[in-house]
Amino acid sequence: MTNNNSRMNKFEKRRRNTKFINYFLALAAVLAVFLIGFWIFGGNDEAADDRDTSTSEADSFFLETEEDDNENSTDNETVDEQEENDESGADSEDNNREEDEPASEEAEENNENDEIETVETEPSDDDVEEAIMGNWSPIGTEQTGPHTTKYEDGSQDRIEIKRAASMVTGIPEDELIEIWIGNGGHQKVVATVSNRAQTENYRVFMSWVDGEGWQPTKLETLKQ
């Protein structure tokens, strides 16, 4: 009887120990599952946060880079436009200067003509329609030293006499015909000239000015 009780007590004690061990094993399994689940889902969240953070930083970087590129592009466009405007302004200035130069030359010529004063005078003969005297300037000369008038064709005197006659009559040199060039006294000449069509005929009286060339002193418009 006593042996049976001892055997039952041992069995009961073993059964309680087995239940206790099973309880702790189940509890450990639940805890292990919980830890694994937390690690998986929690780790994914952190990784997702890290990925989101990395993506946000990358997006910010690309956005800043794009903004910098846009700013640089805008700055480059502004510089290009400024250079084009400067070039355009320079071209306009050059064009205006080119347009102003002929106008300035013409104005200068007009001013010179305005400064010339003329008065009517007695004609030298009956072939004269009108005679005037004026304060024309000497034509200029390339001759130096003592002057002796040379009447030969092609001489420096003939070249400068023709130039002076063109100036006072207004006939271009390449259109001016020298009909007669003669001695008008000491260091003086008389030139009869016309245009190629011979519709304008003049007699020009000139005096030599040392260092300055031939100076027209009297202009006669001849009758047709």
Per-residue pLDDT reduced to its tens digit, 161-181: 999 999 999 999 999 999 999
Rounded to an integer, the average pLDDT of 46-54 is 49
Is there a single domain that holds both residue 81 and residue 185? no
Cβ atoms 194, 179 nearer than 8 A = yes
Question: Which one-letter amino acid corresponds to residue 116?
Answer: I
Q: Which residue has the higher pLDDT, 45 or 202?
A: 202
Beta bridge partners of 178: 193
Domain end (from 115, 149, 184): 115
| Confidence at residue 37, expressed as pLDDT on a 0 to 100 scale | 76
Judge if 109 and 19 occupy the same domain: yes
Q: Within 10 A of 222 (CB to CB), how many other CB atoms are there?
A: 19
Choose the final residue of a domain: 70, 86, 115. 115
Per-residue pLDDT at 34: 77
- Checking if the pLDDT of 198 tops 70, the result is yes
Range of lowest pLDDT (25-34, 98-107, 214-223): 98-107
| Rounded average pLDDT over 121-125 | 94
Co-location of 110 and 139 in the same domain:
no
Which pLDDT band holds residue 125 (cuts at 50, 70, 90)? very high
| pLDDT tier at 7, thresholds 50, 70, 90 | low
Are residues 129 and 167 located together in one domain of the fold?
Answer: yes
Domain that residue 215 falls in: 118-222
The number of domains in the chain is 2
In this structure, the answer to whether residues 195 and 108 fall within a common structural domain is: no
103 shares its domain with 166: no
In sequence order, the β-bridge partners of residue 186 are none
Q: Are residues 130 and 206 in the same domain?
A: yes
Calpha distance 176→163 (Å, rounded) = 9
The reported pTM is: 0.51
Task: Among 115, 150, 174, identify where a domain stops.
Answer: 115
Predicted local distance difference test score (pLDDT) of residue 58: 45
